[in-house]
Amino acid sequence: MSDRADAIDGARAISPFLLGVVPFGLVYGVTAIDRGLDPTLVAAMSAIVFAGAAQLAAVDLIAKGSPAVVVLATILVVNLRYPMYAASIAPHFRAFTTRSRAICAYLMTDQAYAVALTEYREQDTSPDRRLWYYVGAAFTLWIAWQLSTITGILVGARVPPGLSLEFAIPLTFLALLVPNVTDRASALAALVGGVGTVLGANLPYDVSLVAAALAGVVVATILDDALATDATDGSAEEEA
Amino acid sequence: MIDDAGVLWLVVLAGGVGTYALRASFVVVVGRVDEIPPRIERALEFVPAAVLAALVVPAVVAVDASGGALVLPTVAYSPKLPAAAIAALVAWKTENVLATIAAGMVALWTLQAI
């Protein structure tokens, strides 16, 4: 198959996910403008950081007046899931050139990772096919993210106030959270992260998010074995 | 708000470089590292749940954090709480971002109108 056909296959595979990405990008653009951020910065962040959840969290903290270090730490903690994706997809990228791998890394998203890994696991694919399938999927998502962000920025100024539109942000995170709570240990991570952030709300410099999220990861990792051995009776519900 | 626009751009650039480093980690250095330790890998699996919950919960309950660093914050009822519960149910049933946002927003508008 040609590179072009492989890329189109990838683009096709990721297209259902755009239904979730486009509203996310719109919400990001609209709320960032609504909170008074510089439109150029908001758009540039989509290209420079290119990570929706981290961008939304950063916009929220910037608008609240958090210190620069806390905004940066939050971006990095929210993106700590990427080394996990990188480690799991790396063997499939081994035959690529360093330059191709560097580009693939920049384009990595939750969706591109999920779509590509599904393809690699189901098919015995050539390195060429793997590369172009991934680039087709990941670049399609990149375009959709930039366009929806810019659209959100342009629309942002015209959205009437009083619609509680800022609530769309935690709802987006909620939609991503639910499938990530798969067992008792991940439910515990969510519980500690969620409750901990509220309990730490009075801590200085808005460090509560970073601190509570890390605490959730640590507690779940420590109790992972205990929770796994004594529990087979179904997964715990996440709390909102 | 961070007053200096230059500082703000620096934060965004550093956030971009850091995020790229996280994405490139095992992909670009794959020649040297084949496997990350299982314990670390398992820990990384908990990151999305912990981080996303930390983003959701304070935005859903009304937190009064004006009491100072040594005081526990007070939490009040907000119509966002039941709206988020409905959205969580929709998220669980559909695993669809759009449906989740729609359900939560409609629920909130309805509760605010009552």
pLDDT tens readout for residues A68-88 = 999 999 999 889 888 878 887
Cα angle for residues A48, A135, B22 (degrees, 5° grid): 45
Rounded to whole angstroms, the Cα distance separating A111 from A119 reads 12
Write down the pLDDT at residue B85: 95
CA atoms within 13 A on the CB side of A59: 31
Pair A113, A89: CB distance under 8 Å: yes
Q: Which whole number is the average pLDDT over A198-221?
A: 84
Write down the pLDDT at residue A153: 94
H or E element: which one contains B63?
Answer: strand B62-64
Question: Which of A68-72, A192-196, B39-43 shows the lowest per-residue confidence on average (mean pLDDT)?
Answer: B39-43
Rounded to whole angstroms, the Cα distance separating A24 from B3 reads 27
Does the pLDDT at position B17 exceed 80?
A: yes
Which ipTM value was assigned to this complex? 0.81
Which one of A42, A167, A203 makes the best mutation probe of the B interface by having the most chain B beta carbons within 10 Å?
A167
Write down the pLDDT at residue B36: 65
Question: Which of A34-48, A165-179, B59-73 shows the lowest per-residue confidence on average (mean pLDDT)?
Answer: B59-73
Q: Is B106 on the interface with A (CB under 8 A)?
A: no
| Tokens 């009822």, located at residue | B77
Write down the pLDDT at residue A83: 84
Rounded to whole angstroms, the Cα distance separating A127 from A101 reads 12
Q: Is B89 on the interface with A (CB under 8 A)?
A: no
**One-character DSSP codes across A34-70:** HTT--HHHHHHHHHHT--HHHHHHHHHHHHHT--HHH
Pair A239, A197: CB distance under 8 Å: no
Average pLDDT, chain A: 86
**Measured between alpha carbons, how far is residue B13 from residues A65, B2, B22 in Å?**
18, 15, 14
Write down the pLDDT at residue B68: 67
Looking at the complex, report in whole angstroms how far the Cα of residue A78 sits from the nearest Cα belonging to chain B: 6
Q: Is B42 on the interface with A (CB under 8 A)?
A: yes
> Of all residues in chain A, what percent carry a pLDDT higher than 90?
45
Write down the pLDDT at residue B75: 80
Pair A94, B28: CB distance under 8 Å: no
pLDDT tens readout for residues B54-64 = 888 988 887 77
Residues 24-43 of A with CB under 8 A from B: 24, 27, 36, 38, 41
**CA A182: distance to chain centroid?**
17
Residues 89-128 of A with CB under 8 A from B: 89-91, 93-94, 98, 101-102, 104-106, 108
Closest CA to B88 of A20, A170, A216: A170
Write down the pLDDT at residue A115: 85
